[in-house]
Homo-oligomer: A and B are copies of this chain.
Amino acid sequence: MRQTDISGNFNSRHSKMIDILIQHINSKINNKLTESDISLLSEVFHTKKLRKHQYLIQSGEVCKIAAFVVKGALKKYTIDNSGKENILELYIENWWAGDKESFMIGTPTPYYIDAYEDSELLVITKDDFVNILSKLSFYSELNQSLTERQSFQLMKRLHSSQTFTAEQKLDELQNTYPEFFQRFPKHIIASYLGMTKETISRIRSNSSKK
């Protein structure tokens, strides 16, 4: 593990966070990151802390950052006319948070992302992404791996959303992302699954009777 940063420009928390990012990237690519890759990553990713309830991005903005979650928990959602949050994604440690479509294409995002727990992120700006990160040799493989995975997951979620009962959706989530259950309260899980907290409560009290 890297103990200090070669340039000496970063504090030790930043170094530790970069170590976690490196492990994550290495797990997604075939050839390990080189020292020069790592050195560049250290420069382009800066730390950002978010307190609970703070926004990472807000609807209407162009998303100008991509963020890797080192610690904490966040949610991505829209707000409908009646003011209701519709949660689309949940992020915990080792997930990437952001609106990739807005980030890549430059269209305004329809989403809010905020911290559900106090969080520590590694953030890269669009400029550094375009000029540096996207040109590194590992980037294409990393991006492909993440995008493909995302797309497979979304296909499954769409399928369950359209064909499963509330109980089946809940079961599937418990099997697929059991972490989410310990981490988020039921009304957030409910919104993520497109149902209400009351429905979750009723399913749980029924299934415990069986």
Residues of A within 8 A of B (CB): 78, 80, 86, 88, 100-101, 104, 140, 143-144, 147-148, 150-152, 154-155, 157-159, 161-163, 194
Whether A162 contacts B161 by the Cβ 8 Å rule is: yes
Contact of A147 among B86, B104, B147, B157 (CB under 8 A): B147
Closest B residue to A102 by CB, please name it: B152
Residues of B within 8 A of A194 (CB): 161-163
Q: List 24 A-B contacts (CB under 8 A).
A: A78-B159, A78-B163, A80-B163, A86-B159, A86-B162, A88-B155, A88-B158, A88-B159, A100-B148, A100-B151, A101-B155, A140-B140, A140-B144, A143-B144, A144-B144, A147-B147, A150-B151, A151-B154, A154-B154, A154-B155, A158-B158, A158-B161, A162-B194, A163-B194
Q: How far is the CA of A163 from the CA of B86 in the complex (A)?
A: 7
Distance in Å: Cβ of A173 to nearest Cβ of chain B: 13
- The 10 closest A-B CB pairs, nearest first, are A162-B194, A154-B154, A151-B151, A161-B161, A101-B152, A86-B163, A147-B147, A158-B158, A150-B151, A140-B140
Q: How far is the CA of A161 from the CA of B169 in the complex (A)?
A: 14
Distance in Å: Cβ of A54 to nearest Cβ of chain B: 23
Q: How far is the CA of A152 from the CA of B144 in the complex (A)?
A: 14
Residues of B within 8 A of A150 (CB): 151
Distance in Å: Cβ of A157 to nearest Cβ of chain B: 6
Q: How far is the CA of A156 from the CA of B158 in the complex (A)?
A: 10
Q: How far is the CA of A183 from the CA of B97 in the complex (A)?
A: 38
Residues of B within 8 A of A155 (CB): 88, 101, 154
Distance in Å: Cβ of A81 to nearest Cβ of chain B: 11
Q: How far is the CA of A139 from the CA of B190 in the complex (A)?
A: 40
Residues of B within 8 A of A159 (CB): 78, 86, 88
